[in-house]
């Protein structure tokens, strides 16, 4: 009994820490609709800065608490800098585009933190006056954890007062409910956004700083917190503070008690919770459906016409190079080209969902990975030859795409995206934990191509034919009635339903089709690498796909192709040139985002249209 | 037989009783106007007729068949075309493509994965646009169209499934006065020609009194008058509702 | 903060592909022998910076001594960012584009396995330095793969020897939830049960790697009231576990047996909160004064103005093993190198070791001892060197564990 109580208290302490980070994220999202990937980086910076300040300032209460608060404020200011220099310029870009920018910031911060604080974990001092423990029912419980348990509700209370008792807070709430209205009220929107970023970043920094007496400060803090923070925000309901608090509580406690029963549940628990909550409540626990977009203004998406002759020539030239050059290349260049071809298809498959489909997916790697595992498992357990494996890949991915998609496409926006992430993480954890079947994190080895396809050149052509074929097929689909129906439901579900289009069904089938295409890419990838690992369907790979699509441009058909080539090309080169490739890549992404807010292909298109009159 | 029969329709939003006990019928080829001040419940009525909203009570019959509670896309398949008060078109498509989508859906060809839309149902779509005087706009993106033209596109879309009933929520809003009259004249002509029953709302009394065969007046969710234009114009209740606005009398 | 200075300098060194070795190149006229080294530098910098520092040191020493029959060695470092699929691609690059003679490296087990499979498929020698997984040399071992470091099995076996001496009967385990943690726990349970029938495992915790919820984990372990705990967590997880555990009194009146915790990589970040009295495997660098270790330590200090970590030993000895190999074979032809590698003996920082012909595992050992606090820092006491060759199963057992080879 005492043990259970202490377990509950431990859960509360974690919940409280989680809430601090999530509250900042939800406030920022609520007002600006920015999916701020860099929130975890701000959290990490909070911890590092607190370490520096607390160890530099004189010991004692003033030094410690001063350091913590100082770190939070500095992080708040860093958030302001990011908002003013970067995000403010791209609020009008297509949905989720800001995610690309914040991801660039993540990369930059990772390397800057490494340069500034070094690689070794740093153990900060404990909080003065809260070093020890106290007895609760005869068991010892750390004072600092008790303190943390108190901090969550206090911060929640302060935020509540701020939002309900000040004019600024009222504006923030109004903006959260209806962005356009605040613009119409003549409020200085810029100041509002900037101040919200300050507050949100400050909360992230505070969350990080308060971990100092609890955890070592390390370079992995950013990514280890960000997904969980997002889960809390989404489970609670986007933009809802009390929702975030409730979700943090739920997750903290489920975690604390879950490990008593199933110690290995930690890997996937939060995602199971999220999947369940979203299936039952599509807007999270306390979220409200977004104010319906005002009709009549039409969608910002451009027309889709036949490729202009110039683009056609360019495509043909690229194709000629892709076909004619490789015989003169070495094995390594061939394997890079093979990988590029595969990733082009992977990006194109996500693009079908994001562009014409108007949905977002944070878990597209699931289908890539399921394709890879489908092929590898068929080879390992059934002795299937490569071609059979490659045929099975889209089948496996497509079936799971339909199953997962059935739930995901009912939701909208970030909720849908996060549900795809939840399913992807569940699939990932199965691959990771079902060691007997999948080999766990050690993966499946020996997935090499059949003898005839073993030469790198042959395999390259095989991959080129399949990937290019599938990519062109997707393109064809976009020009066909089905693709138009996808766009129709994206442009106006109201109108689509009013002319007999079953929007759910179209989205669902589109999702399945995209999953199957990603499966082909995954299957080819498995044989190209000779092995399959859970990393094929982990979050970084899903993020890669997102980055490729966004970098290329969501609203152009060539976008995913350009984006995939640009991102893999850049990464491949940078990793070989410099140890600080993350810093360089992050900076390049940030610059591209600033100069080409429609993506690379989008920018090229805009330029072309400007020169040739409107399309 | 009446094309549409409505009986005892009710709808509340929280405390607001938007529509209360509304009953009426529309006949083939008839132009029936539903008028009433802002917030009277006209759009709510429309939304219940085409399945966008589920009525709290009452029934909707189309050609004798009960359609209450069906989804909009099912109602559409049974032959109900609709335009919206705030236009809803596909902004990333051309005018022609918008109409093609309606035609393709009507012909159940939306599952196609291979043949490009450009080659499908283009001729009938052009013909429809030609009929509405939109032929020269066919290739323009809907996203940049003037509001009045969007209304016309909506009408073209609504006509694409050879409807038996046309629901038009403020079809001429945003148009110049002469345009309005012309569009409604055209609509009436098409309706009579094809035996389409038309139910429309309109704030412009010129349009209403010159084109409606019959008029329903809605106020705070209730039908307060129904009949031929002249009778409605003379109705004291209606005058009461529109008092001060001068809308009813001022039209002439 | 020495770590910071090292960080910067090390990066410079790495960026220039062992550019710091350049002066030595001038002396050797012949074309260099190229080694391709792949590791998770950006994903695991804390462990791999000291590793690479020592690697560069070793390479400089080898080249200063005239290289291999007059040919200098040269290393091309690649960062796999913690992804096995990238490691495989880079392996292809190193072999095909950079024309390296052999591959080395690997820190994470899955990357080690991916590289081993690549080596097998492409018939290239792969000298795995760090990855601990037993599969690398046993269940998935292959002709072309050799491993330097004492494996999960070996280190678990070393600790079981000590654990069996304890009176404790009720054990709890805590390990990160991935292959390394799982197999360490599996071996520990199996070997301890064999060594001491009657022990009982009353609780196990498997926090996600790098994301331990330390408070709840500690509480869950305490609730089972074990007499002793076997810990496999490391890095940030270990730090958090120790902090929560000490404050909550989890370690009082309980023995803790802990894998790798005596390595400076993991012990040093704990500072004055390092736990006392844990039985650990590790590397008491400041206390080992042997003819093979002392010069290494001093050279490392001189070169990098820092003390060596265990990773440094691994990096250094990987180079020395490769150098010994290259001196033994007349050519850098793969099959010849592989043949020479089997049974290769050389003098490591820890003394003479051998790459066993039977399973390609080296006999490098580890230090087993007790943690103490000394001058406000964790250190090892009462340690002894456990020679790896004494902690490997019998040849018959190894043959069943490595059926394919
Ligand atoms: N979705 C809704 N939720 C809550 N109240 C609604 C909703 N839709 C309509 N109402 C309310 O129902 C009443 C009727 O609205 P409706 O839009 O049907 O009026 P209308 O006659 O079409 O007005 P207008 O001439 O301005 O278009 C109004 O009071 C409106 O505020
Ligand atoms: Mg209305």
pLDDT digits (tens, 9 = 90+) for A127-170: 998 988 898 888 889 999 999 999 999 999 999 999 999 999 98
Verify that C100 and C194 share a domain, yes or no. Answer: no
pLDDT at A524 over 80: yes
Pick the residue whose CA is nearest to atom 6 on ligand 1. Answer: B13
d(CA A393, CA A371): 4
CB-nearest partner of A266 from C97, C206, C240: C206
Search chain A and give the residue with CA nearest B49: A498
CB-nearest partner of A332 from C96, C140, C268: C96
In a domain, B250, yes or no: no
Tally of residues, chain C: 405
Query: Is A523 in CB contact (< 8 Å) with chain C?
Result: no
Contact exists between C and B (3 or more beta carbon pairs < 8 Å): no
* Window from A403-412, A595-604, B147-156, C70-79 with minimum mean pLDDT: A595-604
- Segment C91-108 shows an average pLDDT of 94
In a domain, B251, yes or no: no
Residue A54, H or E segment: helix A39-56
* Residue of A7, A135, A266 to mutate when probing chain C, most C C-beta within 10 A: A266
Secondary structure (DSSP) of A428-470: HHHHHH-HHHH-GGG-EEEEPPPGGG-SHHHHHHHHHHHHHHH
Secondary structure (DSSP) of A540-607: HHHHHHHHHHHHH-TTSSSHHHHHHHHHHHHHHHHHHH-TTHHHHHHHHHHHHHHH-TT-HHHHHHHH
Verify that C143 and C58 share a domain, yes or no. Answer: yes
Determine whether the interchain pair A120/C271 forms a contact, defined as Cβ–Cβ distance below 8 Å: no
Q: Do C331 and C386 meet the contact criterion of CB atoms below 8 Å apart? A: no
Percent of chain B at pLDDT exceeding 90: 75
Measured over the CA atoms of residue A226, residue A232, residue A235 and residue A236, the dihedral's sign is: negative
Search chain A and give the residue with CA nearest C82: A535
Pick the residue whose CA is nearest to atom 7 on ligand 1. Answer: B13
Question: Mind listing the pLDDT tens digit for each residue in C210-251?
Answer: 889 999 999 999 999 999 999 999 999 999 999 999 999 999
Q: How confident is the model at residue C4 (pLDDT cuts 50, 70, 90)?
A: very low
Verify that C52 and C96 share a domain, yes or no. Answer: yes
Verify that B235 and B204 share a domain, yes or no. Answer: yes
Strand ranges in C138-227 using DSSP code E only, listed in sequence order: 145-147, 170-174, 200-205
pLDDT of residue B154: 94
- Segment C72-77 shows an average pLDDT of 96
Q: How confident is the model at residue A612 (pLDDT cuts 50, 70, 90)?
A: confident
A267: its two tokens: 């890997």
Pick the residue whose CA is nearest to atom 29 on ligand 1. Answer: B39
Q: How far is CA C25 from CA A65, C67, C70, in A?
A: 54, 9, 10
- Segment C90-99 shows an average pLDDT of 93
- Segment A177-182 shows an average pLDDT of 71
The contacts of residue C194 (CB under 8 Å, 6+ apart) are: none
Verify that B122 and B136 share a domain, yes or no. Answer: yes
Number of domains in chain B: 2
Verify that B76 and B47 share a domain, yes or no. Answer: yes
- End-to-end alpha carbon distance in chain C: 48
A residues 384-443 closer than 8 Å to C (CB): 432-433, 435, 440-443
ipTM of the complex: 0.93
d(CA C259, CA B131): 83
Verify that B172 and B99 share a domain, yes or no. Answer: no
pLDDT at C153 over 50: yes
Q: Do B187 and B29 meet the contact criterion of CB atoms below 8 Å apart? A: no
pLDDT of residue A295: 36
Residue with tokens 């295409």: A517
Long-range pairs of C282-286 with CB within 8 A, sequence gap ≥ 24: C282/C310, C282/C366, C282/C367, C282/C368, C282/C369, C282/C380, C282/C383, C283/C309, C283/C310, C283/C313, C283/C366, C283/C367, C283/C380, C284/C367, C284/C369, C284/C379, C284/C380, C284/C383, C285/C309, C286/C379
In a domain, C359, yes or no: no
pLDDT of residue C95: 94
Q: Which residue segment(s) compose the domain that C319 sits in? A: 8-151+289-354
Pocket of ligand 1 (CB under 6 A): B 13, 16, 18, 36, 38-44, 85
Angle at the Cα of B155 (from B152 to B160), degrees rounded to 5? Answer: 130
Q: Do C285 and C273 meet the contact criterion of CB atoms below 8 Å apart? A: no
pLDDT of residue A239: 87
Verify that C31 and C13 share a domain, yes or no. Answer: yes
* Window from A30-44, A238-252, A474-488, C17-31 with minimum mean pLDDT: C17-31
Residue C369, H or E segment: strand C366-374
- Looking up residue B74, the CATH number of its domain turns out to be 3.40.50.300
Verify that C340 and C259 share a domain, yes or no. Answer: no
pLDDT at A185 over 80: no
C9: its two tokens: 């300098």
d(CA C126, CA C141): 11
In a domain, C137, yes or no: yes
Verify that B69 and B186 share a domain, yes or no. Answer: yes
Verify that B67 and B187 share a domain, yes or no. Answer: yes
In a domain, C319, yes or no: yes
- Segment A458-472 shows an average pLDDT of 96
pLDDT of residue C5: 35
Percent of chain A at pLDDT exceeding 90: 72
pLDDT at B247 over 80: no
3-class SS string, A181-216: HHHHCCCCHHHHHHHHHHHHHHHHHHHHHCCCCCCC
Q: What is the pTM of this model?
A: 0.91
Q: C38-67 b/e with 16+ CB inside 10 Å = b?
A: bbbbbbbbbbbbbbbbbbbbbbbbbbeeeb
pLDDT at A293 over 60: no
pLDDT at A192 over 70: yes
d(CA B187, CA B171): 10
CB-nearest partner of B120 from A299, A481, A496: A481
Tally of residues, chain B: 252
Verify that B13 and B137 share a domain, yes or no. Answer: no
Verify that B227 and B124 share a domain, yes or no. Answer: no
Verify that C254 and C326 share a domain, yes or no. Answer: no
Residue C304, H or E segment: helix C293-304
Q: Which residue segment(s) compose the domain that B136 sits in? A: 90-142
Q: Do C116 and C128 meet the contact criterion of CB atoms below 8 Å apart? A: yes
Residue with tokens 């608090």: A245
A363: its two tokens: 């878990």
pLDDT of residue A601: 87
In a domain, B137, yes or no: yes
d(CA A36, CA A46): 16
Distance (angstroms) between ligand 1 centre and the Cα of B45 equals 9
Verify that B64 and B106 share a domain, yes or no. Answer: no
The contacts of residue B31 (CB under 8 Å, 6+ apart) are: B187, B188, B191, B198, B200, B211, B212, B213, B214
d(CA A398, CA A509): 10
pLDDT at A119 over 70: yes
As a whole number, the mean pLDDT across chain B is 90
pLDDT at A237 over 50: yes
* Residue of B91, B95, B156 to mutate when probing chain A, most A C-beta within 10 A: B91
In a domain, B246, yes or no: no
The residue whose CB lies within 8 Å of the most ligand 1 atoms, and thus the one to mutate among B42, B47, B216, is B42
Q: Do A283 and A415 meet the contact criterion of CB atoms below 8 Å apart? A: yes
Phi, psi of A558 (to 5 degrees): -85, -10
Angle at the Cα of B30 (from B214 to B235), degrees rounded to 5? Answer: 0
d(CA C371, CA C350): 20
Q: Region of C178 please: left (phi>0), alpha (psi -120 to 50) or beta.
A: beta
**For residue C380, which of C275, C245, C306 has the smallest C-alpha distance?**
C275
The contacts of residue C297 (CB under 8 Å, 6+ apart) are: C285, C288, C307, C308
Number of domains in chain C: 2
As a whole number, the mean pLDDT across chain A is 91
Domain boundary pick from B99, B124, B142 = B142
Using a CB-CB distance cutoff of 8 angstroms, which residues of chain C are in contact with residue A264? 177, 206
Verify that C247 and C379 share a domain, yes or no. Answer: yes
Determine whether the interchain pair C219/A536 forms a contact, defined as Cβ–Cβ distance below 8 Å: no
d(CA C225, CA B154): 73
In a domain, B36, yes or no: yes
Distance (angstroms) between ligand 1 centre and the Cα of B35 equals 14
Q: How many helices (H) and strands (E) are present in chain A, helices listed first?
A: 25, 4
Verify that B117 and B152 share a domain, yes or no. Answer: no
d(CA A529, CA A342): 12
Domain boundary pick from B79, B109, B142 = B142
DSSP state of A536: G
pLDDT of residue C1: 32
d(CA A470, CA A463): 10
Query: Is B120 in CB contact (< 8 Å) with chain A?
Result: yes
Verify that C146 and C157 share a domain, yes or no. Answer: no
d(CA B185, CA B177): 13
Verify that B119 and B174 share a domain, yes or no. Answer: no
Q: How confident is the model at residue C17 (pLDDT cuts 50, 70, 90)?
A: very low
Alpha helix ranges (H) inside chain B = 42-49, 72-77, 95-106, 122-131, 147-159, 177-194, 205-211, 229-234, 236-242, 247-250
pLDDT at A58 over 50: yes
Q: A124-159 b/e with 16+ CB inside 10 Å = b?
A: bbbbeebeebeeeeebbbbbbbbbbbebbeebbeeb
Verify that B134 and B222 share a domain, yes or no. Answer: no
Strand partners, B219: B222
CB-nearest partner of A133 from C207, C247, C271: C247
pLDDT of residue C20: 41
* Window from A402-406, A529-533, B233-237, C375-379 with minimum mean pLDDT: B233-237
pLDDT of residue C9: 34
Verify that C168 and C255 share a domain, yes or no. Answer: yes
Determine whether the interchain pair B114/A501 forms a contact, defined as Cβ–Cβ distance below 8 Å: no
Query: Is B97 in CB contact (< 8 Å) with chain A?
Result: yes
- Looking up residue C128, the CATH number of its domain turns out to be 3.40.50.2300
Query: Is B53 in CB contact (< 8 Å) with chain A?
Result: no
Percent of chain C at pLDDT exceeding 90: 87
pLDDT of residue A308: 80
In a domain, B100, yes or no: yes
DSSP state of C71: B
The contacts of residue C326 (CB under 8 Å, 6+ apart) are: C33, C68, C73, C332, C337
Distance (angstroms) between ligand 1 centre and the Cα of B18 equals 7
Distance (angstroms) between ligand 2 centre and the Cα of B41 equals 7
* Residue of C3, C10, C36, C84 to mutate when probing chain A, most A C-beta within 10 A: C84
pLDDT at C6 over 60: no
In a domain, B38, yes or no: yes
Q: How far is CA C166 from CA A337, B193, C311, in A?
A: 58, 100, 30
Contact exists between A and B (3 or more beta carbon pairs < 8 Å): yes
d(CA B87, CA C102): 68
Radius of gyration of chain B (CA): 18
- Segment A241-270 shows an average pLDDT of 91
pLDDT at C21 over 90: no
Verify that C271 and C343 share a domain, yes or no. Answer: no
Percent of chain C at pLDDT exceeding 70: 93
Verify that C49 and C167 share a domain, yes or no. Answer: no
């Amino acid at each position: 009994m005492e043990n259970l109580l202490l377990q509950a208290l431990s859960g509360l302490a974690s919940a409280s820490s989680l809430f601090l980070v999530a509250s900042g994220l939800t406030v920022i999202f609520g007002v600006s609709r920015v999916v701020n990937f860099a929130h975890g980086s701000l959290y990490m910076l909070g911890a590092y800065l607190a370490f520096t300040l607390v160890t530099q300032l004189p010991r004692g209460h003033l030094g410690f608490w001063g350091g913590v608060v100082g770190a939070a404020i500095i992080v708040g200011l860093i958030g302001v800098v990011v908002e003013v220099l970067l995000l403010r310029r791209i609020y009008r870009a297509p949905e989720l585009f800001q995610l690309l920018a914040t991801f660039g910031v993540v990369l930059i911060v990772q390397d800057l933190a490494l340069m500034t604080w070094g690689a070794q974990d740093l153990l900060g001092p404990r909080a003065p006056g809260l070093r020890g423990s106290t007895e609760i029912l005869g068991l010892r419980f750390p004072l600092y954890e008790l303190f943390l348990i108190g901090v969550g509700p206090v911060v929640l209370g302060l935020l509540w007062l701020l939002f309900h008792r000040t004019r600024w807070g009222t504006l923030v709430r109004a903006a959260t409910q209806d962005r356009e209205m605040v613009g119409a009220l003549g409020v200085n929107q810029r100041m509002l956004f900037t101040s919200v970023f300050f507050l949100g970043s400050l909360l992230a920094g505070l969350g990080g700083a308060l971990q100092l007496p609890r955890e070592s400060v390390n370079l992995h803090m950013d990514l280890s917190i960000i997904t969980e923070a997002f889960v809390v925000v989404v489970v609670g309901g986007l933009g809802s503070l009390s929702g975030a608090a409730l979700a943090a509580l739920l997750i903290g406690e489920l975690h604390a008690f879950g490990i008593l029963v199933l110690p290995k549940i930690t890997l996937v628990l939060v995602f199971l919770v999220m999947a369940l909550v979203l299936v039952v409540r599509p807007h999270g626990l306390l979220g409200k459906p977004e104010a319906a977009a005002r009709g009549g203004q039409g969608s910002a998406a451009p027309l889709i016409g036949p490729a202009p002759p110039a683009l056609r020539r360019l495509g043909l030239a690229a194709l000629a190079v892709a076909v004619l050059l490789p015989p003169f290349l070495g094995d390594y260049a061939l394997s890079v080209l093979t990988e590029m071809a595969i990733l082009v298809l992977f990006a194109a498959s996500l693009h079908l969902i994001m562009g014409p489909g108007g949905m977002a997916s944070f878990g597209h790697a699931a289908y890539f990975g399921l394709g890879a595992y489908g092929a590898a498992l068929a080879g390992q357990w059934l002795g299937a030859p490569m071609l059979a494996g490659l045929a099975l890949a889209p089948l496996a991915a497509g079936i799971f795409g339909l199953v997962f998609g059935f739930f995901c496409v009912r939701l909208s926006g970030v909720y849908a995206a996060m549900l795809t992430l939840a399913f992807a993480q569940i699939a990932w954890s199965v691959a990771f934990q079902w060691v007997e079947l999948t080999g766990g994190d050690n993966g499946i080895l020996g997935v090499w191509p059949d003898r005839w396809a073993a030469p790198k050149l042959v395999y390259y052509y095989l991959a080129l034919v399949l990937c290019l074929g599938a990519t062109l097929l997707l393109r064809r689909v976009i020009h066909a009635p089905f693709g138009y129906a996808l766009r129709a439901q994206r442009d106006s579900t109201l109108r689509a339903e009013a002319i007999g289009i079953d929007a759910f069904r179209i989205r669902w089938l589109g999702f399945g089709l995209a999953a199957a295409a990603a499966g082909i890419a995954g299957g080819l990838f498995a044989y190209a690498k000779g092995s399959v690992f859970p990393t094929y369907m982990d979050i970084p790979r899903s993020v890669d796909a997102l980055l490729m699509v966004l970098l290329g441009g969501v609203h152009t058909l060539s976008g995913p192709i350009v984006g995939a080539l640009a991102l893999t090309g850049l990464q491949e080169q940078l990793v070989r040139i410099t140890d600080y490739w993350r810093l360089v890549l992050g900076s390049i992404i940030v610059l591209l985002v600033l100069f080409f807010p429609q993506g690379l292909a989008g920018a090229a298109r805009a330029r072309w249209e400007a020169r040739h009159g409107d399309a | 037989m009446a094309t549409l029969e409505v009986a005892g329709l009710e709808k509340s939003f929280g405390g607001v009783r938007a529509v209360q006990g509304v009953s009426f019928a529309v006949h083939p080829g008839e132009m029936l106007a539903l008028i009433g001040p802002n917030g009277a419940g006209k759009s709510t009525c429309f939304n219940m007729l085409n399945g966008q909203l589920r009525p709290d009570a009452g029934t909707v019959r189309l050609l004798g068949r009960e359609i209450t509670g069906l989804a909009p896309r099912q109602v559409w398949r049974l032959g109900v075309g609709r335009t919206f008060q705030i236009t809803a078109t596909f902004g990333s498509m051309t005018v022609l493509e918008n109409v093609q989508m309606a035609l393709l859906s009507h012909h159940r060809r939306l599952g196609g994965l291979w043949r490009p839309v450009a080659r499908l149902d283009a001729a009938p779509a052009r013909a429809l646009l030609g009929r509405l005087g939109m032929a020269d706009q066919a290739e323009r993106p809907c996203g940049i169209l003037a509001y009045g033209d969007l209304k016309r596109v909506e009408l073209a879309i609504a006509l694409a499934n050879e409807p038996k009933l046309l629901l038009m929520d403020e079809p001429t809003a945003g148009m110049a006065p002469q345009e309005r009259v012309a569009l409604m004249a055209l609509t009436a002509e098409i309706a009579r020609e094809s035996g389409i029953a038309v139910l429309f709302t309109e704030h412009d009394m010129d349009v209403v009194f010159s084109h409606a065969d019959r008029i329903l007046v809605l106020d705070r969710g209730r039908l307060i008058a129904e009949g031929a234009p002249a009778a409605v114009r003379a109705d004291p209740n209606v005058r009461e509702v529109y008092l001060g606005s001068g809308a009813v009398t001022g039209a002439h | 903060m020495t770590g910071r200075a090292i960080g910067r300098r090390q990066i410079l060194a790495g960026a220039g592909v062992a550019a710091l070795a350049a002066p030595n190149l001038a002396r050797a006229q012949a074309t260099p022998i190229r080694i391709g080294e792949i590791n998770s530098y950006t994903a695991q910098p804390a462990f791999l910076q000291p590793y690479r520092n020592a690697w560069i040191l070793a390479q400089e020493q080898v080249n200063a001594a005239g290289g291999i029959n007059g040919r200098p060695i040269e290393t091309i470092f690649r960062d796999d960012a913690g992804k096995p699929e990238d490691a495989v691609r880079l392996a292809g690059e190193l072999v095909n584009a950079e024309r390296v003679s052999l591959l080395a490296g690997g820190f994470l087990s899955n990357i080690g396995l991916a590289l081993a499979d690549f080596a097998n498929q492409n018939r290239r020698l792969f000298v795995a330095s760090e990855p601990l997984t037993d599969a690398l040399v046993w269940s998935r071992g292959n002709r072309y793969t050799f491993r330097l470091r004492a494996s999960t099995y070996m280190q678990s076996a070393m600790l079981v020897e000590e654990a069996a001496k304890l009176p404790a009967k009720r054990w709890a385990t805590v390990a990160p939830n991935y292959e390394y943690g799982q197999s360490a726990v599996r071996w520990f349970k199996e070997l301890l049960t064999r060594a001491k029938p009657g022990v009982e495992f009353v609780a196990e915790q498997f926090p996600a790697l790098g994301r331990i919820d330390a408070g709840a984990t500690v509480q869950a372990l305490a609730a089972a009231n074990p007499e002793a705990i076997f810990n496999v967590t490391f890095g940030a997880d270990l730090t958090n576990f120790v902090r929560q555990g000490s404050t909550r009194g989890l370690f009082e009146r309980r023995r803790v047996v802990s894998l790798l915790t005596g390595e400076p990589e993991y012990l040093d970040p704990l500072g004055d909160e390092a736990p006392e009295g844990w039985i650990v495997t590790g590397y008491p660098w400041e206390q080992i004064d042997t003819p093979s270790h002392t010069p290494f330590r001093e050279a490392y200090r001189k070169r990098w103005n820092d003390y060596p970590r265990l990773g440094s030993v691994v990096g250094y000895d990987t180079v020395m093993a490769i150098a010994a190999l290259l001196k033994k074979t007349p050519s850098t032809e793969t099959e010849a190198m592989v043949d020479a590698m089997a049974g290769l003996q050389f003098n490591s920082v820890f003394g003479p070791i051998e790459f066993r012909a039977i399973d390609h595992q080296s006999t490098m050992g580890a230090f087993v001892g007790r943690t103490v606090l000394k001058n406000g820092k964790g250190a090892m006491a009462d340690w002894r060197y456990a020679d790896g060759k004494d902690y490997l199963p019998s040849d018959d057992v190894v043959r069943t564990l490595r059926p394919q080879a």
